[in-house]
């Protein structure tokens, strides 16, 4: 009986409220928020268009069944790199200690600690973790891949639901990427991970469920081929 409650509040200490999602009541569409998957950008667009924030958590039992749920998935290792950079920048840096100091002082032990633990917050947790509690309530979820075609594909699909947001016309704002320390750490961890096969294997093993999901679903790509 205690396990769902533990899971529900697992990353609350890091600011994530379990079951975070958004609803467009009229169109009957749900957006299932997975952090680091263009979530800040999309949430702002949806808020501006009167989508309602909600939390379909195990604890409060207030879930909505929907046949139109937007789920954005991303390459797990690329997501981890940006996620761990944001975690360190947000939670570890402070006065007189930033990314330059980190890069100067980091050693093999420090690197292995971050690689070994993998998940430090909601930005580095498995993507499937955010989906699993919704699974029995998802009827025909629509999957989108987080790449350069995301906005085009979302625009195309939303148009079929009568919603015209022109995501392609909005300037994509990656808040963390515009932060010097965050960008510096993203570059650091990219170089670290993609030049160490064992690190890549370890991360891939932790995110195996994400890779399995990505390989098993059909992503919506109609926007890429539409004229």
pLDDT (tens digit, 9 = 90+) per residue, 14-39? 666 666 788 898 888 889 999 999 99
Residue 95: the pLDDT is 79
Question: Is the pTM of the predicted complex or chain greater than 0.75?
Answer: yes
Give, for 143, the enclosing helix (H) or strand (E). Answer: strand 142-145
Core vs surface per residue 134-173: b (16+ CB within 10 A) or e: beeebeebbbbbbeebbbbbbbbbbeeeebebebeeeeee
pLDDT band at 66 (very low <50, low <70, confident <90, very high): low
Q: What is the token pair recorded at 143? A: 């999957």
Mean pLDDT of the chain: 85
Locate 203 and state its tokens.
């991360």
Mean pLDDT of 212-223: 96
Of 48, 120, 53, 110, nearest in space to 81 by CA: 120
At 105-151, the pLDDT tens digits run 899 999 999 999 999 999 999 999 988 877 666 767 899 999 999 99
Residues 6+ apart with CB under 8 A from 32: 21, 69, 70, 71, 130, 131, 134, 141
pLDDT at 60: 44
Q: What is the pLDDT of residue 225?
A: 79
What angle do the packed helices 108-117 and 180-194 form, to 10 degrees?
A: 90
Beta bridge partners of 30: 23, 69
- β-strands 52-55, 20-24: how paired? antiparallel
Q: Do 42 and 151 form a contact (C-beta atoms < 8 A)?
A: no
Rounded Cα distance between 108 and 67, Å, is 48
The H or E element that residue 180 is part of is: helix 180-194
Distance from C-alpha of 113 to C-alpha of 120, rounded to nearest angstrom: 11
Q: What is the DSSP letter of 129?
A: H
Q: What is the mean pLDDT of residues 197-206?
A: 96
Residue 82 to residue 99: CA distance in whole angstroms = 14
pLDDT at residue 1 above 50? no
């Amino acid at each position: 009986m205690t396990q769902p409650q533990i899971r529900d509040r697992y990353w609350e200490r890091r600011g994530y409220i379990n079951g975070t999602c958004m609803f467009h009541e009229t169109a009957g569409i749900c957006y299932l928020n997975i952090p680091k998957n263009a979530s800040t950008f999309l949430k702002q667009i949806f808020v501006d268009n009167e989508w309602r924030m909600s939390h379909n958590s195990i604890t409060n039992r207030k879930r909505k069944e929907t046949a139109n749920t937007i789920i954005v998935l991303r390459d797990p290792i690329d997501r981890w790199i940006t996620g761990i950079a944001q975690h360190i920048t947000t939670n570890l840096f402070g006065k007189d200690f930033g990314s330059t100091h980190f890069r100067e002082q980091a050693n093999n032990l420090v690197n292995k600690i971050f690689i070994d633990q993998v998940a430090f917050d909601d930005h580095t947790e498995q993507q499937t973790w955010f989906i699993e509690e919704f699974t029995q309530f998802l009827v025909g979820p629509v999957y989108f891949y987080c790449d350069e075609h995301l906005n085009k594909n979302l625009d195309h699909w939303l148009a079929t639901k009568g919603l015209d947001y022109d995501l392609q016309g909005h300037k994509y704002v990656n808040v963390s990427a515009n932060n010097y320390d965050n960008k510096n750490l993203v570059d650091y961890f990219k170089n670290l991970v993609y030049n160490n096969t064992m690190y890549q294997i370890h991360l891939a093993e932790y995110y195996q469920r994400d890779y399995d999901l990505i390989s098993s679903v059909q992503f919506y790509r109609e926007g890429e081929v539409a004229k």
